[in-house]
Amino acid sequence: MTFTRDIKSEKLPTIRVDNISFSWSDEASVLQNCTLQVPQGEFWMLLGNNGSGKSTLLRLLAGLLIPDSGSVVMPHKTGFVFQNPDHQLVMPTVGADIAFGLVSENLTQVQVRQRVKEALDAVNLPELERRPIHALSGGQKQRIAIAGAIARNCEAILFDEPTALLDADTQLELVAQVKNLVKQRGLTALWVTHRLEELDYCDGAFLLTGGKVVAEGEPQALKQRLLATESQ
Ligand SMILES: Nc1ncnc2c1ncn2[C@@H]1O[C@H](COP(=O)(O)OP(=O)(O)O)[C@@H](O)[C@H]1O
Ligand SMILES: [Mg+2]
């Protein structure tokens, strides 16, 4: 597969991976000299077959794993949204869960309330502050996880198949909302998906195969290419 660079951005990268390699065990390496950059203020997607190492790569970006070699540069404040929000939302209510993420910042109660309110407004769920987490829909839970990252003033957010458990309508609502949040707030986002229709919402995309990025750039070109492969 040829290596394409269709998007030439003048912006500095916010997410930067240089030549990283990583193995879970001695036998097989998951990532081999993998390189990618996401420019500041852009929404990029990462595609690849099951088991190609997408979740491993996001964990390396989040600092949850250390690469065997190569380097990762990320903003100090990076948020993570998992496939299953039930693994992420830990407090009994929406407001308490978002506030929990702010504990290390030593804010006053008034400041915490303000951050929680502002983050809920950002994801268009201002009325849910007192709602128990168990009473939320799947899509609402994902938006609360995103609100948690916004409340912490994260510059970048990593999404690991956040729509995998959502129905088709909620899926597209979520991806459209993240696109708007990225643009309105100058966030930088990297979103893992296997759903090609989501590519319509991003600025650029990467294809991870054999442990490295083998194609990157204009999302529609990548979409056409993957559709052609699927239909073969
Ligand atoms: N915690 C783990 N321990 C050992 N091997 C793992 C672990 N997580 C993932 N792997 C292996 O790493 C490879 C990549 O997995 P993963 O990053 O989850 O891929 P993807 O998210 O693209 O489906 C797979 O072969 C998987 O079995
Ligand atoms: Mg995965």
Burial of 93 (0-12, 13-18, 19+ CB in 10 A): middle
Q: Whose CA is nearest to atom 16 of ligand 1?
A: 53
For atom 9 of ligand 1, the residue with the nearest CA is 56
Atom of ligand 1 nearest to the CA of 49: 22
Residue partners of 160: CB distance under 8 A and separation at least 6: 54, 55, 58, 80, 81, 82, 83, 192
What is the distance between the alpha carbons of residues 160 and 197, in angstroms, rounded to a whole number? 16
Q: Is the CB of 56 under 6 A from ligand 1?
A: yes
How far, in Å, from the CA of 190 to the mean position of ligand 1? Answer: 18
* 30 touches ligand 1 (CB under 6 Å): yes
Q: Residue 2: what pLDDT? A: 38
Tens-of-pLDDT digits for all 232 residues of the chain? 334 444 555 678 999 999 999 999 988 899 999 999 999 999 999 999 999 999 999 999 999 999 999 999 999 999 999 999 999 999 999 999 999 999 999 999 999 999 999 999 999 999 999 999 999 999 999 999 999 999 999 999 999 999 999 999 999 999 999 999 999 999 999 999 989 999 999 999 999 999 999 999 999 999 999 998 877 7
What pLDDT sits at residue 12? Answer: 83
DSSP summary character for residue 5: B
CA 83 to ligand 2 centroid distance, Å? 8
pLDDT value for 26: 84
- 178, 191 contact by CB (below 8 A): yes
Ligand nearest to the CA of 48: 1
Ligand nearest to the CA of 52: 1
List the residue whose alpha carbon is closest to atom 26 of ligand 1: 51
Best of 25, 55, 208, 214 for a ligand 1 pocket test (most atoms within 8 Å of beta carbon): 55
